[in-house]
Amino acid sequence: MAQAPHLVVLGDLVLDIVARADVMVEQASDVAGTVRFRAGGSAANTARSFVSAGGRATFIGAVGRDAWARRLVAAARAEGVTIHAVPVARPTGRIMVLLGPDGERSFVVDRGAADLLEATDIDAAWFRRCDVLHLPGYSLFRRPLADAAAGAVAIAHERGAAVSVDLSSRAPLLAMGRRQAWRVLAELRPTILFGNSGEVAALTGERQEERLLQVVPILVVKEGAADKE
């Protein structure tokens, strides 16, 4: 390509509060560890990673009218991401990430402003020279954000851009329901679908990944550390 590919990502820009315990957490007691604040959000993290790999990235999402929103937006811009942050009357999303000594992660999620992006907030000009639109599954689970995602997909298809979707998390997929999740994917017509083995199994059943090829031409099943073997 004459210039670096352009990825547009729609979804969440949130504050991650990462707590790592040195030993297994004890109920009703305390253990030593570390607590750090980090810029997070599945969508924003994808945009940052794409820029660090040499691409161009645009983030679209809703944030609160608070100091954390200003800090997170400034941090992402400093990393080279173009930001279209729509302010709404809810606190910026926050996620508590609990890391065990074995590296296993658990989450306590307060998505706050992140789910409140409206379809009417989307400006087609933000998709100029868009090569790929990427949607985390979190952008599909709740309205009005899901409506904004559908509107963005319509613009992307109209402009000949590819669409990618990451299933993101098993529990919200199960809460959405298999039938509804399949219907949403069929309507979005993504070019490529990402998911780990648990997320894919939530939609297809164990070891039936091929079924998803009925609605998407390219399926990538992630296996975590096993990908490196």
Domain ranges of the chain: 6-11+42-91+112-166
Asked whether residue 197 carries a pLDDT value surpassing 50, the answer given is yes
Which strand ranges, in their side-by-side order, compose the sheet holding 162-166?
A: 82-88, 56-64, 6-10, 132-136, 162-166, 192-196, 218-222
- Please state, in angstroms and rounded to a whole number, the distance separating the CA atoms of residues 4 and 127: 15
Higher pLDDT, 97 or 100: 97
Joined tokens for residue 30 = 């305390």
Q: What percent of the chain has pLDDT over 90?
A: 59
- Report the percent of the chain where pLDDT is more than 70: 96
Residue 211 phi, psi (nearest 5)? -60, -30
d(CA 63, CA 44): 12
Question: What's the pLDDT at 83?
Answer: 97
Mean pLDDT of 74-79: 96
**The pLDDT value given to residue 114:** 95
Q: What per-residue confidence (pLDDT) applies to 170?
A: 82
Question: What local confidence, expressed as pLDDT, does residue 36 receive?
Answer: 93
What pLDDT, on the 0 to 100 scale, is given for residue 118?
Answer: 96
Phi, psi of 167 (to 5 degrees): -65, -25
194 pLDDT higher than 70: yes
Global confidence as pTM: 0.87
Query: How are beta strands 105-110 and 94-99 bridged, if at all?
Result: antiparallel
Lowest mean pLDDT among 32-46, 115-129, 190-204: 190-204
Q: Is 168 left (phi over 0), alpha (psi -120 to 50) or beta?
A: left
Q: Please state, rounded to an integer, the average pLDDT across all residues of the chain.
A: 89
Question: How much is the pLDDT for 228?
Answer: 45
Among the listed ranges 20-24, 164-168, 209-213, which one has the minimum average pLDDT value? 209-213
1 pLDDT band (50/70/90 cuts)? low
As a whole number of angstroms, the distance between CA 150 and CA 145 comes to 9
- For the cut 60, the answer to whether the pLDDT of residue 15 exceeds it is yes
Structure tokens at 193: 């679908």
pLDDT number for residue 55: 95
Amino acid identity for residue 174 in this structure = L
pLDDT of residue 226: 56
What superfamily would CATH give domain 6-11+42-91+112-166? Ribokinase (3.40.1190.20)
User: What was the pLDDT predicted at 2?
Assistant: 63
